[in-house]
Structure 1
Amino acid sequence: MPRLPDGTPAHGFPRLPDGTPAHGFPRLPDGTPAHGFPQVRGGHPEQREDGGGWGESSGRTAAETGAPAFPRQRQAPPGPRQDYLNAFDEQDDVFVRRTPAPASTAHPSDPYASVTDWDTEADTDDEAPPTGEPASPKGGKGRAFAGIAAAAVTTVLAVIVAGQVTGQGEDSAAESQSATDQSRDVRDSASRGEGRPTPSDTPSPTPLTYEQKMDRTYPLSATLDGSGKFDAIPGIDKAPGTGQKYTYRVDVEQGLDLDGELFAQAVQKTLNDDRSWAHNGGRTFERIHSGKPDFVITLASPGTTAEWCAKSGLDTTVDNVSCDSAATERVMINAYRWAQGSETYGDKIHAYRQMLINHEIGHRLGYSHVTCDKAGELAPVMQQQTKFLEHDGIRCKANPWPYPTS
């Protein structure tokens, strides 16, 4: 047992009621070791005899010599640490949170040290002198059991807290994983397009037929003066008949914002119709896009049309009409009339377009202007039907064909 320089037992070791330090474990008031703690010499209480194997052999008592009242040679197995027992009192509630003991009185390697002591920084000065009064050994047995119970409770609480922290960490991880999975599912679902129509599933507008396109009017100004530059519609439409073949090219002025392919299709269909100049197989027409054609049928703005017709001495600015510029290779179709029609044909825009093609190509084939001779008859295709259907009191019916069937 460590002592101070004056021989006083070091702080933290128990004393008997008479002030004599107890040896390593608590005793009852009569000096008998508390129940549950080892006894010396075959289980008998320690004897303070003069001499003998347990005391000094000088024949004097410990009180007379001032020698310690404990054997120097052998010690009984140590009981619980007294500083641990001192941490509890009879009035202490083992379930009340305690202030951790100084780091100098407990160490993580000590199995009897409080769990909370292990987290305390060891900043206590080991050289500081002990303070306080020695703890009374009264009730040592109860305090020992209470200390053990408190240690067990503290350990259980520590395990529970650790488990909760771990559980919370696992729950957080699970929630995070769940959120990630849900986000992934949402992304996967979005990438798979479940429940959403794919581009192939989205119904597209039904394309208009040739007849539907030809029955529509298109916006274009009556005073438009285009660039004067032309693009040839690519492709070839073979002559379907066996009669005299005429080749032609279709040019469309740049910037018109009209369907050049529709215009080229209309020319081919109209000219090779049996009611047209291909009647009875006498002629056939073939569209080409390169080489030297017999003529070039040209869709142009009113301004450009007037310019090209003037080259052949024709004035198209009156009534804004089309022409066959015979001095050139071009048959000029006024784009305003193609897009908007005329009052003489009203809403029969498809028939009017057929008349424009047949009338101007008729000039290219050598036919001149004529008029109807009898009221109610069909107007000849070479009549200037854009300008009039009635002349000299005779009113004719609109007619787009050279060889109409009715």
Structure 2
Amino acid sequence: MWGGLGVVAALGVAGFAAVCWTTGGTEELAGGAGSGASAEPSPERSRRSSSPSPGQSPGAGTGASRSPSSSPSSSPGESGSSSPSGSPVTIPRTGPGTFTTASGGSGKVGKGAPLRYRVDVEKGLSLSTADVAEEVEGILADPRGWTADGDSAFQRVSGGRTDFVVKVATPGTVDDICGAGGLNTGGEYNCHVGDNVMVNLERWEQATPVYAKDVKAYRALIINHEVGHFLGHGHVGCPGEGEPAPAMMQQIKGMNGCVPNVWPYDSEGRPVTGPSVP
């Protein structure tokens, strides 16, 4: 699943995921997934923090700022792309706004009381809920993910109480849900709003130009960035020339000398971070 990250790992980086097209509560707006949004979304409160989370804005894996779509529109309501396997994918611009929950669940990963999360996919999409759930599970269980902080733990469920929900949806539905929380995702970005980690289908399938050849890595950035906002983490900048880009950096706005990376921790358990930014 993570074979595509080998080249990035050789650079001392774990991988760079999507969320860069969004920032804030999103990587691109908030995901990830970094963002090219026309305006920064207003901050929102994180479930784990009593103060506004600086990273919550539409956008990468991850924060939400807006940037232009990397693919042309193939019809008034759809855009065309290719899946990681190379097969053509049609991305509808909007959907019904209702979701199918991935069945089953996972064991606990990490230390401490687990945050229970659900994985939902908007109805009418060709995505397999089981495949999406498996991918999200793998990202949150990775030793370079948030569990490396020694405090965070996660467990996927399909019913009962949940702390947050990862929702993969069409751009229009993401705009509606993020917009209800005051975030402008502009049809392009991901976001975190309330207990929702919203993943824009276009970013999930197409990533961004930097990650166009490793879409799976970008997906990790989206999840790590947006879940990072849920955990109360705000945006940070590049720590220095040639250094790995933090997962909480709005990478879509430019790498600023950093090299691609999608993980909040490195393989030795050290945090990958940088100076705080507004």
- What TM-score results when the alignment is normalised by the length of structure 2? 0.63
Give the 3 Å change call, closer, same or farther, for CA 307–340 of structure 1 in structure 2. Answer: same
- Does residue 404 of the first structure (1) align with residue 255 of the second (2)? no
What's 2:100 paired with? 231
- Aligned-pair CA distance for 1:309: 0.5
- After TM superposition, the structure 1 stretch with the greater mean CA deviation from structure 2, 265-274 or 247-256, is 265-274
- Aligned-pair CA distance for 1:221: 4.9
- Does residue 247 of the first structure (1) align with residue 116 of the second (2)? yes
Of 126, 132, 139, which aligns to 1:263?
A: 132
* Structure with the higher fraction of residues in strand conformation: 2
- Aligned-pair CA distance for 1:349: 1.3
What's 1:332 paired with? 198
What's 1:59 paired with? none
CA contact (8 A) 2:2 2:216 kept: no
* Structure with the higher fraction of residues in helix conformation: 1
Q: Which runs of 5+ in 1 are unaligned?
A: 1-208
SS at match of 2:260: coil
AA in 1 matched with 2:262: P
**CA shift digits 1:20-67 (9 cap, x unpaired):** xxxxxxxxxxxxxxxxxxxxxxxxxxxxxxxxxxxxxxxxxxxxxxxx
SS at match of 2:218: helix
What's 1:343 paired with? 209
Larger C-alpha radius of gyration, 1 or 2? 1
What's 1:56 paired with? none
Q: CA RMSD in A?
A: 2.2
- What TM-score results when the alignment is normalised by the length of structure 1? 0.44
CA distance in 2, matches of 1:384, 1:217: 27
Of 175, 186, 191, which aligns to 1:323?
A: 191
CA contact (8 A) 1:271 1:277 kept: yes
AA in 2 matched with 1:298: K
- Aligned-pair CA distance for 1:222: 5.8
- Aligned-pair CA distance for 1:274: 1.4
CA distance in 1, matches of 2:235, 2:260: 15
AA in 2 matched with 1:401: W
CA contact (8 A) 2:109 2:147 kept: no
Give the 3 Å change call, closer, same or farther, for CA 223–234 of structure 1 in structure 2. Answer: closer
- Does residue 290 of the first structure (1) align with residue 163 of the second (2)? no
CA distance in 1, matches of 2:120, 2:193: 14
- Does residue 388 of the first structure (1) align with residue 257 of the second (2)? no
Highest relative contact order (Cα 8 Å, sep 6+), 1 or 2? Answer: 2
AA in 1 matched with 2:163: D
Q: Which runs of 5+ in 2 are unaligned?
A: 5-82, 269-278
- Aligned-pair CA distance for 1:365: 0.5
- Does residue 360 of the first structure (1) align with residue 222 of the second (2)? no
- After TM superposition, the structure 1 stretch with the greater mean CA deviation from structure 2, 345-354 or 234-243, is 234-243
Give the 3 Å change call, closer, same or farther, for CA 397–309 of structure 1 in structure 2. Answer: same
What's 1:75 paired with? none
- Aligned-pair CA distance for 1:304: 0.3
SS at match of 1:279: helix
CA distance in 1, matches of 2:240, 2:149: 26
Give the 3 Å change call, closer, same or farther, for CA 367–230 of structure 1 in structure 2. Answer: same
What's 2:146 paired with? 277
